[in-house]
């Protein structure tokens, strides 16, 4: 195979790019967006902001396994829990008694539901976190960083709210927050709005029928070009004609018939731009069915999964909103690295720089910083 000429594909890069704001002003604007959204999540969804874990004990299987592939496995490490005196080199280490294996958070989907029980939230209330995770399986591009930031949120619901109507009501509340944040940025910084007034609700089956020869991202891009912003209802099950799912989802948290993504057209790249993934969470019957479909019934004995199967956790709805993705959208930057700090290859920095894109660096790089 011939070597790759460029780190990023040309079609994903903005042409004739000029940032809307000077770098320091963009930093201030990003902070405003964060404060605005966190305040509105608290008020509009009746949630309390919670501290977020950076890692989980590995054997609990409470972490998000994303699509379940080897590439998307969580970053793992060992905690020895052995006392060490600073500056003292011991000839023989103390025997390890309390060591444990841990892994870096990929998302807080399962953990948040457990916290609804821990904090005894009533139906109609919940919590959210500003979480940071490492996605080592991602190849960095204009909208994907291997260091991901999101508002992870979870609200307790009742049995009669486990339906598509309630799902859409909640999606519309989040869309109102996003639109109001856009108005705030337009008023404060003069960046013209790019989002439509309303979301268009569709399904994976409808998108597949409309663009049968396109791959998943291409048909989502076409839908966003047509409607501006969409919410795809029902992601996880294979399509009726046997085609793969719109997106492979973990079987452990979302009910695959009552979940979905908010995706918009990015005003600079012109490409699909996923902002949020959410869903009504599995009950005992749904979890069992989805684990069986994915041949993952071995998880049924794990603490979190067993608690769901035994009806020991509250019914809930939750999701994640990409913090850097939303900031990138509202400030109309051409690259997610302009509003967040990831770990990028030198070639990535230089290719972006040549197009007028200043990625925030994590280190000193000749020609960049």
Residues with catalytic roles: 64, 135, 150, 261, 274, 277
CA angle 273, 352, 35 (to 5 degrees): 50
Q: Do the beta carbons of residue 186 and residue 334 sit within 8 Å?
A: no
Structure letter (DSSP) for residue 298: G
User: Which neighbouring-strand residues pair with 285?
Assistant: none
Measured CA to CA, the distance from residue 10 to residue 17 in angstroms comes to 13
Q: Are 305 and 286 in contact (CB under 8 A)?
A: no
Angstrom CA distances, 234 to 109, 195, 238, 260, 276, stand at: 17, 23, 10, 6, 14
Q: Would the CA dihedral through 138, 144, 150, 155 be positive or negative? A: negative
| Closest residue by Cα to residue 151 from 275, 66, 67 | 275
What value does the CA radius of gyration of the chain take, rounded to a whole number of Å? 22
Biggest CA-to-CA distance, the chain? 69
Which residues are 76's β-sheet partners?
A: 103
Among residues 222, 306, 221, 293, the alpha carbon closest in space to that of 257 is found at: 293
């Amino acid at each position: 195979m011939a070597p790759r000429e460029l780190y990023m594909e040309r079609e994903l890069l903005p042409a004739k790019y000029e940032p809307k704001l000077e770098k320091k002003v963009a930093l201030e604007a990003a902070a405003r967006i964060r404060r605005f959204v966190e305040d509105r999540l608290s008020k509009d969804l009746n949630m309390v902001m919670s501290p977020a874990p950076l890692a989980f004990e590995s054997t609990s299987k409470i972490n998000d396994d994303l699509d379940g592939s080897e590439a998307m496995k969580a970053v793992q490490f060992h905690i020895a829990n052995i006392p060490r005196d600073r500056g003292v080199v011991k000839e023989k280490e103390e025997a390890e008694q309390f060591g444990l294996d841990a892994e870096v958070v990929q998302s807080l989907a399962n953990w948040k539901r457990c916290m609804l029980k821990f904090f005894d939230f009533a139906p109609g209330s919940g919590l959210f976190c500003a979480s940071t995770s490492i996605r080592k399986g991602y190849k960095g591009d204009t909208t994907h960083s291997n260091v991901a930031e999101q508002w992870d949120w979870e609200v307790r619901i009742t049995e009669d709210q486990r339906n598509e109507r309630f799902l859409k009501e909640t999606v519309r509340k989040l869309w109102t927050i996003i639109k109001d944040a856009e108005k705030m940025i337009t008023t404060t910084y003069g960046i013209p709005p790019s989002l439509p007034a309303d979301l268009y609700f569709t399904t994976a089956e409808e998108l597949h029928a409309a663009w049968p020869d396109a791959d998943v991202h291409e048909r989502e891009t076409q839908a966003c070009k047509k409607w501006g912003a969409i919410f795809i209802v029902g992601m996880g099950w294979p399509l009726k004609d046997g085609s793969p799912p719109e997106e492979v989802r973990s079987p452990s948290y979302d009910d695959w018939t009552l979940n979905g993504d908010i995706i918009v057209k990015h005003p600079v790249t012109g490409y699909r731009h996923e902002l949020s993934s959410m869903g009504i969470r599995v009950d005992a019957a749904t979890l069992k069915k989805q684990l069986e479909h994915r041949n993952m019934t071995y998880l049924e004995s794990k603490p979190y999964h067993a608690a769901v199967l035994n009806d020991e956790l509250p019914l809930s709805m939750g999701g994640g909103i990409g913090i850097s993705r939303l900031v990138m959208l509202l400030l109309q930057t051409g690259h997610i690295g302009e509003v967040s700090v990831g770990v990028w290859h030198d070639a990535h920095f230089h290719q972006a720089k040549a197009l007028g894109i200043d990625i925030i660096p994590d280190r000193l790089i000749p020609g960049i910083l």
